Homo-oligomer: A and B are copies of this chain.
Amino acid sequence: MPEDTVHADTPAEARIAAARGSRNDHTRRRNLSSLLTAVHYGGPLTRAQLTRDTGLNRSTIGGLVAELSELGLVVEDAAAETGTVGRPSHIVRPRRDVVALALHADVDALELGAVGIDGAVLARRRANLDAPPTPDDAAAFSWEAAREVAAELGGVRAAGIGAAVPGLVGIDGATVVDAPHLGWRDVALGERLRGALGIPVVVGNDANMGLRAEWSFGAAKGVDTVVYLNGSASGIGGAALVGGRMLRGGRGYGGEFGHMMIRSDGDRCSCGRRGCLETEVNAALLDEAAHDAAALDRFAEVLAAAIANLECAFDPDAVLLAGYLGALFDVRRELVTDQVRAMAFRPDAEDVVIARAALGGNRLLIGAAERAFAPLLRDPAGTALAALA
């Protein structure tokens, strides 16, 4: 074997899963997780539906729902009118007072929201800024805004806080490795927020969280394989969902499609290379060309080339466009679609749906909250909630 053969210190995920033995109580945990996850994504569901969806026995579902109810995570309503024969089934719904906080740190604003476990944004605070925020600004704002939001909502319990940042975030979900537009390098934002708020923190790249939101409640709800491109003031962010899992990468830097080379003789990019997607189509260029049809056509073609390349690599079920790329797509929908299909080299290219993202201004808050909810969804009985005074 070559000397530079790679061997993992820790076995790959698949092997960990294989290696870890399964004990009897794992079954319970998993089933509790199944139910909470089901009502999280699917909204209020009857116990009968849960029985069918999970394949578990009625009696088991009864016990599980009772436990989730005792944990204060769901409530059971009496059945509404069903329209069908037979005893009506209880309706299980996630409790709205179980929330996650979500912070979005952007170049020109800080925003914090409280998101219910049903995915609804319940309250929000925003601070518009003249200069990019420092990590201290972010922590101070979070503390203040969290207090206000908690007061507004009154007696909610939080699973944690998710923070969306325009930049590279380490695989640890805590360190902002490089956020050039904020001027942050190697910032331990996780620790900072944890210190300020005293609840679990998870930090992530904004594009990743945007896609997560769209996958959970938006235009790509439940789709297995999705490529996502977001155009914003801080460049083009990318993310991908592969087989139902977020593409993370070895260090957490996966999905940086903004620096995909799209024109080998293009302009020099801030990253040092030439013809990156982000230098070929960006906010400034689009603003300049707002009423220049030919220029818009050109940009649309560049976007189409990028999408074609990504389809090549990922063979996605859907490609989602957000921010100014979504706007560009809206005015050049046919051109983009046709170009992508013309450039696709594989069969069934027309199966790939290209669409604009759906969730608008709530997207990042929802996505960040989703990540904060994740541990609770994985282990409902073993994850503590913090009372938010």
Complex alpha-carbon distance, A177 and B345, angstroms: 13
Q: How far is the CB of A45 from chain B (nearest CB, A)?
A: 11
Query: Smallest Cβ distance from A57 to chain B, in angstroms?
Result: 9
Q: Report chain B residues within 8 Å CB of A356.
A: 2
Q: Which of B259, B345, B351 contacts A345 (CB 8 A)?
A: B259
Q: Which residues of B contact A245 (CB under 8 A)?
A: 13-14, 242-243, 245
Task: Bits for A339-377, please: 1 = Cβ < 8 Å to B, else 0.
Answer: 000110111100111111010000000000000000001
**Given A251-B351, A272-B345, A273-B345: A317 touches B6 (CB 8 Å cut-off):** yes
> Are B355 and A5 within 8 A (Cβ)?
yes
A51 to chain B: closest residue by CB: B21
Q: Which of A24-32, A149-157, A158-166 contacts B (4 or more CB under 8 A)?
A: A24-32
CA distance A241 to B250 in the complex (A): 11
A87 within 8 A of B: no
Stretch at the interface among A100-108, A135-143, A193-201, A215-223: A215-223
Oligomeric state, in number of copies? Answer: 2
Stretch at the interface among A109-117, A123-131, A288-296, A304-312: A304-312
A386 within 8 Å of B (CB atoms)? no
Q: Contact check, A6 vs B219: say whether CB atoms are below 8 A apart.
A: yes
Interface residues on A, range: 35 or more
Bound form: Cα–Cα A6–B62 in Å = 33
- Cβ–Cβ contact A249 & B343, under 8 A: no
- Shortest distance from the beta carbon of A250 to any chain B beta carbon, whole Å: 4
* A261 interface hit (Cβ, 8 Å): yes
B23 in contact with A27 (CB, 8 Å): yes
The answer to whether A271 has its CB under 8 Å from any CB of chain B is yes
Which residue of chain B lies nearest to A171 when distances are taken between CB atoms in the complex?
Answer: B315
Closest CB in chain B relative to A343 CB, distance in Å: 5
Decide yes or no: A178 and B347 within 8 Å by CB, A1-B358, A15-B244, A18-B34 being known contacts. yes
Given contacts A6-B220, A256-B312, A257-B312, contact A343 B272 (CB under 8 A): yes
New contact pairs (7) apart from A13-B224, A255-B315, CB-CB < 8 Å: A7-B221, A19-B54, A22-B31, A249-B314, A251-B348, A251-B351, A256-B345
The 23 listed contacts between A and B (C-beta, < 8 Å) are A4-B355, A6-B219, A6-B318, A7-B223, A12-B215, A12-B223, A12-B241, A15-B222, A20-B34, A21-B54, A22-B34, A27-B27, A224-B250, A225-B254, A242-B247, A243-B245, A249-B315, A254-B315, A256-B346, A259-B345, A265-B265, A272-B342, A273-B345
Q: What 6 pairs between A and B have smallest CB-CB spacing? A: A249-B315, A271-B345, A21-B54, A13-B244, A21-B56, A12-B244
